[in-house]
Chain A
Amino acid sequence: MSGFSFDAVAAILFVPAGAAAILAAMPNYRMTATVNVIASLLTLLAALSLFVTDRPAPGQYLLVDDLNIVFIVLNTFVGFTTSVFSASYIAHELETGRLTAPNLRFYHAMYQIMMFGMNLAFVSNNIGLMWVAVELATLTTVLMVGIYRTHEALEAAWKYFILGSVGIALALFGTILVYMAAQPVVGEGTNAMVWSVLIEKAARFDPALLSVAFIFLLLGYGTKVGLAPLHAWLPDAHAEGPTPISAVLSGLLLNVALYAVLRFKLLLAASPQAIGPGPLMVTMGLTSLIFAAFMLYRRRDIKRLFAYSSIEHMGIIVFAFGMGGPLANFAGLLHMVMHSLTKSAIFFAVGHIAQVKGTQKISEIRGLTESHPGLGWALVIGVVAIAGLPPLGIFMSEFLVVSSTFARHSWLAIPLVLGLLIAFGALLLRLTGVAFGEPRGGTAPVEASYVPMYSHLALVFAAGIYLPAPLVAWFQHVAGILG
């Protein structure tokens, strides 16, 4: 264990935590946005350094392995680009008076605390600590969803709060059950909550107790993933909060909960007599996909539309991981990365669109490619990508999910493809109205930074054309770990 690599993990945690403290004390709002960007960049660099440095041996609380590096790097990358987007978005909100300077101080401090919570959840080796970290990340997003203090925003925050609290309560009960299952084998004390110890000895745990624990964990963390029928908080939280928060909710927070589910899935898979986690996850994934696909048709609010699309894609990802096996896991991982990048890019575009048009109603946004070509085409590319058209990255990952399903359980591919096609139709239907035709609504030029969204879209495009061999090897390796 080299001292330097430990510093990388410490930096991932302490940079956001320290930045939050500084931001909370900084009165100048223009500076706070810059500090937010710098802190996010530093966290990203620390995360990238994990690739090249030695990893610390798993401790009682922290762990870095091949699985969570993927999540950490994705998390810090989108966290950084969102902070860049957030800076230009927030400046506009200040001008229009929707947010005031004290709000902003609060917002930036919360942003960094949220990044801290998410990173902590990823690096935690202790299932209790992981639970606390997920709770922290949720709590901060609740506060940010309600930041506009309108009736709708408060309703959304309250709903998110109550449903999220019930979710984390169920997850805690599941965590306690895992401890109860581990305690006779591992012995009392902290070791019985350390994931890397648990996974070694899971074969000897009481399978029935472990199975019940997983059901609670899947329901609890599944609420956070936004799986139907526990998704009710998700569309409101996305639609009423500030758009940078919608981007991190969709792009990152859902992944945090998914990561927790995956960790426990591995634990269950190591115990041969316990119930298979696969069928449960496949069922919940398919339900979410098909439900969300139909719900896409009736949306009139643009942010709500893409929130349902997030439910749809989380359904696909959970389905893929539920199928298991090297190919489906590979597809699930790739899809998760592509979805995070694409969906946050879409929310970046939507945020600026809602600002120039002064509305989030789809019927009042028309002809964007004519009035605002930069934003309009970003939205077109984003929606084409998210709908799963070639040659973009999501096409490839969806294709892999479908083909691996065909190879293993071909009858399961029927509802899967059906769900994908229904969602595809809905998204393109909405896109044609919003992007083309006679422009309607505000035509004021945007003061937007196009860099975050186009860099995400470029990555998604590049991944659709060509995936570098080392990346493929890495993903295959991680897919192998996931079993």
Chain B
Amino acid sequence: MNGLTFDIAHLLAGSLVLISFMMLYQDRLFALINVFALHAVVLALSVAWQAYIQDAHHLYITAAIALVFKAIVIPVGLHRIIQRLGIHRDIETAVGIGPTMLAGIGLVTLSMVLMLRVTPEADPLAREDLAFALSIILLGLLVMVTRRNAVSQVVGFMSLENGLVLAATGAKGMPLVVEISVAFSILIAFIVIGVFLFRIRERFDSVDIGALDDYRGERR
């Protein structure tokens, strides 16, 4: 593998981690969704590049799904949902941006240390992809736990899933990648439809402990 193909793959995977960081500090829903659309576009490029250098044509399908479904259909759908639900002005301040960014840096360090240490013999591209993918997954989880709004949780989950797709395409010759990306798209479609149909605004947590007890059926 020559230097340039490696560098391009590296650049794309690295940008995905960077864009994941950008998600951490977005405090407006529309901005968050736009950043996610960018994430999906870069993922599509990255997957297409893998398809090209591995000469694995089925991966172009995964790239196309990422581009059409995740970069266009879902963001447009979410924009509509946010307008319908009237939550586009909401500002989220679940956890401060400073601590979140620090936690993000910690998670990325953790995944680099872990993945690079356990894969000394693997193909260098695959192992760095794996380290980046784990960073993206953990940052996606961080987005999910620091947000209150259901829509931004969904966005966090989708960015997490982008990390999985990156890992799966980086693993050379892995079967079922296309099937798995289709399965995930169906899952996400279900989640988004669920948010819309049931008007789930928040993840139901409230500072009112009484309300919480009621939900759980714990009150006498």
Residues in B neighbouring A128, C-beta threshold 8 A: 175-176, 179-180
Among A88-96, A106-114, A184-192, A386-394, the one that faces the other chain is: A184-192
Question: A174 to B57, alpha carbons, bound, how many Å?
Answer: 25
B157, B174, B180, B218: the one within 8 Å of A166 (CB): B157
Contact B173 A189 (CB under 8 A): yes
Contact A151 B215 (CB under 8 A): yes
Residues in A neighbouring B175, C-beta threshold 8 A: 128, 189-190, 192-193
Residues in B neighbouring A159, C-beta threshold 8 A: 203-204
Question: A239 to B161, alpha carbons, bound, how many Å?
Answer: 29
Residues in B neighbouring A212, C-beta threshold 8 A: 114-115, 118
Tally A-B pairs: CB < 8 A. Answer: 127
Contact A173 B174 (CB under 8 A): no
Contact B194 A176 (CB under 8 A): no
Contact B218 A176 (CB under 8 A): no
Interface string of B181-220 (1 = CB under 8 A from A): 0010001001100100010100110000000000111111
Q: Main secondary structure on chain B at its contact with chain A?
A: helix
Contact B117 A208 (CB under 8 A): yes
Which residues of A153-185 are within 8 A (CB) of B? 154-155, 157-159, 161-162, 165-166, 169-170, 172-173, 176-177, 179-180, 183-184
Question: A139 to B185, alpha carbons, bound, how many Å?
Answer: 13
Contact B119 A206 (CB under 8 A): yes
Contact A179 B218 (CB under 8 A): no
Whole-angstrom distance between the Cβ of A181 and the nearest chain B Cβ: 9
B137 on the interface (CB 8 Å rule)?
Answer: yes
Contact B121 A184 (CB under 8 A): yes
Contact B204 A173 (CB under 8 A): no
B160 on the interface (CB 8 Å rule)?
Answer: yes
Whole-angstrom distance between the Cβ of A298 and the nearest chain B Cβ: 7
Residues in B neighbouring A291, C-beta threshold 8 A: none
Contact A176 B168 (CB under 8 A): yes
Interface string of A410-444 (1 = CB under 8 A from B): 00000000000000000000000000000000000
Contact A298 B141 (CB under 8 A): no
Whole-angstrom distance between the Cβ of A39 and the nearest chain B Cβ: 24
Contact B187 A139 (CB under 8 A): yes
Q: Main secondary structure on chain A at its contact with chain B?
A: helix
B167, B171, B183, B217: the one within 8 Å of A152 (CB): B217
Residues in A neighbouring B200, C-beta threshold 8 A: 154, 158
Question: A194 to B157, alpha carbons, bound, how many Å?
Answer: 28
Whole-angstrom distance between the Cβ of B220 and the nearest chain A Cβ: 6
A155-B204, A173-B137, A193-B175 are known contacts. Are A165 and B191 too (CB-CB below 8 A)? Answer: yes
Whole-angstrom distance between the Cβ of A394 and the nearest chain B Cβ: 27
B122 on the interface (CB 8 Å rule)?
Answer: yes
Question: A132 to B181, alpha carbons, bound, how many Å?
Answer: 11
Whole-angstrom distance between the Cβ of B58 and the nearest chain A Cβ: 12
Residues in B neighbouring A298, C-beta threshold 8 A: 218
Contact A179 B204 (CB under 8 A): no
Residues in B neighbouring A370, C-beta threshold 8 A: none
Question: A100 to B135, alpha carbons, bound, how many Å?
Answer: 46
Closest residue of chain B to A209 (Cβ to Cβ) is B118
A129, A172, A211, A299: the one within 8 Å of B164 (CB): A172
A132, A154, A300: the one within 8 Å of B219 (CB): A300
Which residues of B124-140 are within 8 A (CB) of A? 126, 130, 133-134, 137
Interface string of A134-148 (1 = CB under 8 A from B): 010001000000100
Residues in A neighbouring B203, C-beta threshold 8 A: 158-159, 162
The 4 A-B pairs of least Cβ separation, nearest first, read A188-B173, A128-B176, A301-B217, A208-B118
A-B contact pairs, 27 of them (CB 8 A): A129-B176, A131-B180, A132-B176, A132-B179, A152-B215, A158-B204, A159-B203, A162-B203, A165-B157, A169-B157, A172-B180, A173-B133, A176-B164, A176-B174, A177-B130, A180-B130, A190-B175, A190-B176, A192-B175, A193-B175, A208-B119, A209-B118, A209-B119, A211-B118, A239-B217, A301-B218, A363-B220
